[in-house]
């Protein structure tokens, strides 16, 4: 079971009570490097 939430940075995946925000974290790092 996987639910997707659209955010300003990308998708947050909620799976088995664990939040996976790799896409958001990746884009956050890209913004910080500018």
pLDDT bracket for residue 8 (50, 70, 90) = low
pLDDT given for residue 29 in this prediction: 81
Closest among 34, 22, 33 to 9, alpha carbons compared: 22
Beta carbons of 13 and 2 less than 8 angstroms apart: yes
pLDDT given for residue 31 in this prediction: 83
The model's pLDDT over 12-33, given as tens digits with 9 standing for 90+, comes to 666 666 666 666 777 778 888 8
pLDDT given for residue 26 in this prediction: 76
């Amino acid at each position: 079971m996987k639910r997707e939430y659209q955010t300003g940075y990308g998708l947050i995946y909620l799976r088995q009570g664990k939040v996976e925000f790799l896409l958001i974290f990746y884009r956050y790092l890209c913004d910080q490097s500018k």
